[in-house]
Structure 1
Amino acid sequence: MKPVRLILIPATGSQPAPFLIIGADGYVLDRGELTLDGGAAPEPMRTVAVTPGGDVLIRWLDLPPGSTVQGRAAAAWMLRDQVAATPDRLATVLGPPTAPGEPRLVAVVSRSLMEAWTDYLAALGVRADVLVPDVLTLGEPEADDTLSAVSFGEGMALRGRRFAATVQPDLVELIAGGRRIAPVQDPAAVERALVATALAPAINLLDTGEREATAAGGWRRAAILATLVILSPLVLVSAGAIRDNIAARDARSEALAAIAAVSPDLAREPDPVEALRRLVAAAPPPGGITAAAAALFTAVEAVEGAELDILIADPDDGMKATISHPAHGDMTVIRRSMADAGMAVTETGTLEDGGRVVSDITIGAAR
């Protein structure tokens, strides 16, 4: 095996890029920094570039069996509410295959950002064979309640059991959520993790496959392919389907009984479950109308070009609003902001008007 170069991509393109040259035996043969004005191009060799992890969404998902293309589409569909961009602007990458029933590593990153990273490396005179987020250079800790923490530039990489995120240092305690933080401060230990990554990366963000897999039809195509993942191995045995139908019918009967116990009026509705959903959607948000309005103003202001056109508070129908914004993905940002305030946003209507998107929403308590 020939030597491998590992490069740490800095947060800003004006900074130099630290590198290691690693031999087949895992020993570091050389270390230093590459700069944009470094003169002659570095020696060509396999290159693994470590990217800022804060720019990559990392999850472990239960993906149905299927092809790699279908797996990417299923993952993109599952994560559609967690990203603020359309599929053609994102790359969804799968980690190594796992045993049946085990969740699979998935990473989502902006295609334009990947292009910026590869352009930066090209300016240094190198070409990346692998791009891997900094947080995935850390191994999983043994304890479920522990997060390993390593500082990469201005970010703090946190690695847990089936958890990985790079965040701002002041958000570490919030993201940890009560889990114990185990800082990795020994430079030798960090270097050993980087060496292991160079020899066996956990994922390659460049392994995006055919772009058309999700770009050609947007979310609709992703949804279709995700459905194919579920249906293509025809494992829907009739006995299993019957069992599931019976279980669903029993669950509905239990739900109706529970609704009748707490609200006889709802139980008399033609569809008590749907009536309960409407009631919950119209439930007042936490803190009342004033708090909800303040949270909504803050959420709208966070989206460039977004405007709050209408805001209505009705005792029967709940709190409603109409928002005009530049792109469909803007509502994802607004929903996240409202969720952080303990409120749920439900889109009841969307249309395009003069090149802008107009969304009607209801605001209620987060469920």
Structure 2
Amino acid sequence: MARTLLLWLPTQAALSGGGADAAWLRVDDGVIVDSGQDDGWVDAWEKPQDDEADDRLVALAPAADVPLRWRSYPDAAPAQAAAIARVDTLRDSLGDASLLHIVAGQPADAGQAVPVAVTTHAAMAAWTDWLQTQGLVPAAIIPAAATLPPPEPDSLWTAEFGREQILRSDDRSFVSDPELDPLIAAGRTIAPLDADRMREALLLSLSAPPLDLLSGAWQPKRNWAIDPAMMIWMKRLAVALLVVTLLIPILYAIRINADIARADEAAVATAKKAGVTASDAAAAEAELDRRLAAAGGGPLAFSVPASALYDAMRDTPGVALKTLSHRTDGTLSTTLAAPRTEDINAVLLALQAHGYKITAQPMAGTDGTQMATVTVRAVP
């Protein structure tokens, strides 16, 4: 159930004089269920169900301290009209502009009149302090003068609202004065506002406030509150994410080790078929390399590095082979000659590109050619 407490704020005169009783009214689901002119709002509001999310407090600022005026700008967009209304009202106001708190509502459509309320920062400070003293936090502070509906043409409304008598013309709303009201009316009829119509206008103002004094410098700071249940879920998700992050590399390492173990077993089984008995793949590979070297074959054989050397020389026709020898450890030794050092370097780079380890000792030939003594490791 949506519950709203409507509390009339004391006037500045009442606050300074020590009398701060406030009129109040309680609305449940759009129906006025209780009201009073004393501190009975405490019992009407402070109930266990007050903690429901739909419950709210709306304060009404007295017309004596917050008069209202409607300004029209037919050719301006709603946001532009509100901005212009604030500037015009500030220009027409008396006193120090820094002491004034001017709030303009924003019309729903272009061409509609803009409600503008004028009060002081001192009044706002007094009201917020009084509300804090009562332990109340209002959802909005609406000028009481803004809740009266516009009168009929060539007439004015007068209504007792809270503890004030308010006068409403077509473009102004302010506290009534018996001596000034006839002068302001200027021959127009001053009629009392029907109670039912006043009640409807009040409920409409609660559902769609024409303006809120809690704006600008007095706009409440938003307090971010995190749902405890959401915090628990966030912590659980964080822990799950951490566990998954750690498990991915662990599972990957386990899979790699399992693949390596299967490959080692296959290597040992293959070596066993070749007559090599070994405890692991490394021992089997070492034994196979030893037997191949003794037999002059395998990766340590002469043909392996020699074919790579011939392929590299084929791409560089200017390079000639002067000497060539091979050792049982797979090292190929050769002497290369070429008209230019760059040609020999091209051969060496080609061998390195195939993964061979190269050493080279440059020297000059007797006929002016460039030469280099080169060793090529047969095993990459």
**TM-score normalised to the size of structure 2?**
0.47
Indicate the structure (1 or 2) with the bigger Cα radius of gyration.
2
**TM-score normalised to the size of structure 1?**
0.48
